[in-house]
Structures are given as C-alpha cells and as structure tokens.
Amino acid sequence: MLATGIIGTFAAIVLFIAAFLPEGPKARRLLAAGICCALALPGSRLVFDRMQGPPSVGPAWSAPADRPALTKAVAVWQDGETVVRVRADRFDAYRARTGESAWTLDAPPRKSVCAASPAVDGLAAVGYGSDPALCDQLAAVDLRTGRELWRKDGLRPSALELAGPATLVALDGEQLAAFGLRDGAPAWTAAPTAGCGFRALSASAVRVVAVEYCATADPAARTGTTWLRAFGPTGAALWRTNLGAANEPATVAVLAVDPPTVRLTERGNRGIDAVLSFAAADGAPRATIPVSSADYELTSLQKLSAPFRLRPVRPVAVVGDLLVAAAARPGDRDSRFVVAHSLTDGSRAWARKTEGKVLTVTAAPDGPLVAADRGRNLDVVHRLDPADGRTVERTDIRKASLYTTPWLGRTDDRYVFVNEDGTTYSRPALGVPRH
C-alpha cells in the first residue's frame, strides 16, 4: 500500500508539471490537472498515514458512565472473558468481548467493601465493614455467577490474599488466619513474633509471605526491626529474614511472592528506599534495586498512593526474575521509559524509551504489557520481550481517554482497560481489539 501511494504521488507530480507547460491545448492541460488531483489526494493520504505509524483502533465498547459522581473503583478482578470492577458499594461484571453486563452484586446494606483478594479459578474474597476502613465481615464471591458463596461475621480482615485456588489467607487483626475459599472453613492461624505486628501480606500456592515490624521499647522513637517471614501453604513457618531497616517503614508492600520481592521505604534520613528481593528457599538477600539512581527514577514506586486502593495498580510488574517499571530521567516530570532490573543481582537488564507517558505496566505470561499515552487522545499498548525489551506486539489506540493509571487486562482478542474514576472524562471500562 505504501508503494502504491508513492507511485501515485510521483505520477501526480509528473502530470502537474505537464498541466502547466505552455505548450498544448488548454483542455488537455486542464484534464491533466484533474488527473493530478485525483492521484495526489489518495496517494498523499497513504503516505501521511504510514508516516503517523501503524493503523490505530478505537474502543469496541465502553461501559456507561459511573453514577453517582465521585464514585471510584477499589479493585478489579478478571476470570477469563469476565472482568469485574469492584466499587465500595457493588460489583459490576462485564463481558470482555462485547462489554455487556454479565452480572451485578450489591454490597450488604450499610456495608462497604473494605478488603479484596486477587481472583483465582473464578473465585475471590472480600471484606465488608460499616466503616470503609474497618472490616467486620469476610465473604467469598463466585465470579462466574455473581453469587456470594458464604459470609462470616466477627472477623477483622485488613488484607486478603489467596494461597492457591483453595485457601484464603487474611490479616485478621494481629494474626494471619486461613480459610477454605469455597466454604469458609477455618484452616490455620499464625501469630506474629511477640512484640511485633504484621504490616503487609502476599501469597501464592507455594508460600505465604508477610512483613513483620518489631518496635523498640520506646514506640515513640519509631525505631525497630523489619522482618520478612514466610509460611508454607498449611501455615508452617519456613524462614524469617531481616530487611535491614533501622527505622519504622513509611511504606512497605510485597510486590511478588515468587521470588519474594518487597518495596520498602523507611522513615528518617538516608534510610532504605528500594526494592529488595530474596531467595525463595531460605530468605537469603539477593538484590537491592534503588528507587532513585543517577540514570533513572523509578517514578512508579515513588508515590505512596495508587489507584484502586484495595488492590493498587502501579506501572510496575514482576515478570519472572525481572522487575519491570516505568521510569523517568532525573528531573523529568513524566515517565517515558521502561526499565528492567534483575531480581537475582539487581543489575539493569535493559531500558527502552516509549512514545509517550507510561500509564501502566502489567505482567503477562508471555512478557510485560506496557500502555502509554501518546497525546491527542492517542494511546499504545506494547507487549515486550522480557529478554531485551523490544516490542513483540503493538496495538495503537485512538479515543480511549486513558488519562490516569488504568488496570489493564487481556483476552485472546481484546485489551480491557478499567479506570478507577469512570464518572467524568473516562469510562469505567472499555474493550479494544488487539492487533
């Protein structure tokens, strides 16, 4: 097509010159000028479009605007072709191909969703509470039917994770408590070390990982020791390792369980502000990746808050033994780079520039997915080769209105974006055909 456009444009130029030669009948020259225009317009359009990059696609569907105003999503689940947007007051499930409503489920009367687990095998767990910050109920939801499987009172879940497809692990008050995901039956509990408390939690089918903080005798000093503890899927203690911080964490999160990866910022001057990785077998320290370096700022990890507060979405992902994150040059405002570091030794594996501001980075089985805002309501999704960061698959998108960090999911033929705020400029959810 590009060759056809170039040939057409060249022919138009020749005819244009012929049209304005002084020799020849006037009618013939006017005819040549007309043919010139007919050839030049489509030919130049083809050349222009190709210079703008690959052809773009618009959304195949978008969900109606959220109501009431200022309503925000707090988490997102995906089960195959079904994507569930979790609000404090209800759950909205969409079919990824068409955007049709699969089901809706309201939170219990006078209760709000205050905790949410990941999803596995069509199931997920939630906490409900009268106060949005304090849960007093625990429940499981079937994502294929939109029904609650069970609900328990008298618990205080503040974090929920899944230890495989059958076990739910909750940070219940001061202890870890595990339940059967399908029936809610108690499975096991694990208490923190005396004088300590759990601060963050994550899990997989192989292990449960929790951050534990032990304050000194004077809590007002905000000094103490921060540990990473690992438990087996049945609650047996596996190992405990010191994270190396002398002060209380200002922020701490478990980014991954396989391998164990922690984002830690400690209070005080010149404390740890890095991503730390550990050996899965015994908790031995492996890598320290500073959030700030001479070359790049891992801006995706500098903010203490993130969209979807119960299952935060940040432009950072653990892909195998790599930490892949949005980054900026020191002093730059926007993240226009994607940088990968080894979680084995902390070395930089690769770095690449994107066409615009990086919106989100999502882990996928065949490589990280990176969405970027190119400006003028144009966006792009790259699937990257984790080995070197080159683009393996690219989809250019128009008129998707992706202004902030969205949740990004994928099916066989769709990308699905879910926005935290779907009441004003952005829609709650939209589906885009994959190239």
Asked, for residue 30, whether it belongs to a domain, the answer is yes
Residue 60 pLDDT > 50, yes or no?
A: yes
HEC readout, the chain? CHHHHHHHHHHHHHHHHHHCCCCCCHHHHHHHHHHHHHHHHHHHHHHHHHHCCCCEECCCEECCCCCCCCCEEEEEEEECCEEEEEECCEEEEEECCCCCEEEEEECCCCCEEEEEEEEECCEEEEEEECECCECCEEEEEECCCCEEEEEEECCCEEEEEECCCCEEEEEECCEEEEEECCCCCEEEEECCCCCEEEEEEEECCCCEEEEEEEECCCHHHCEEEEEEEEECCCCCEEEEEECCCCECEEEEEEEEECCEEEEEEECCCCCCEEEEEECCCCCCEEEEEECECCCCECHHHCCCCCCCCCCCCCCEEEECCEEEEEEECCCCCCCCEEEEEECCCCCEEEEEECCCEEEEEECCCCCCEEEEEEECCEEEEEEECCCCCCEEEEEEEECCCCCCCCEEEECCCEEEEECCECCCCCCCEEEEECC
Report how many domains make up the chain: 1
Domain encompassing residue 36: 2-51
Residue 13 pLDDT > 60, yes or no?
A: no
Asked, for residue 142, whether it belongs to a domain, the answer is no
Residue 257 pLDDT > 50, yes or no?
A: yes
Q: Which of 12-21, 96-105, 126-135, 214-223 is the least confident region?
A: 12-21
pLDDT at residue number 29: 53
Asked, for residue 189, whether it belongs to a domain, the answer is no
- Average pLDDT over the chain reads 89
Asked, for residue 13, whether it belongs to a domain, the answer is yes
Model confidence band, residue 11 (pLDDT cutoffs 50, 70, 90): very low
pLDDT at residue number 366: 94
Asked, for residue 274, whether it belongs to a domain, the answer is no
Asked, for residue 314, whether it belongs to a domain, the answer is no
Asked, for residue 26, whether it belongs to a domain, the answer is yes
Asked, for residue 228, whether it belongs to a domain, the answer is no
Percentage of the chain exceeding pLDDT 70: 87
For 259-281, how does the pLDDT look when each residue is reduced to its tens digit (9 = 90+)? 999 999 999 888 999 999 999 99
pLDDT at residue number 301: 85
**pLDDT, greater one: 77 or 53:** 77
For 286-322, how does the pLDDT look when each residue is reduced to its tens digit (9 = 90+)? 999 999 999 999 987 877 678 999 999 999 999 999 9
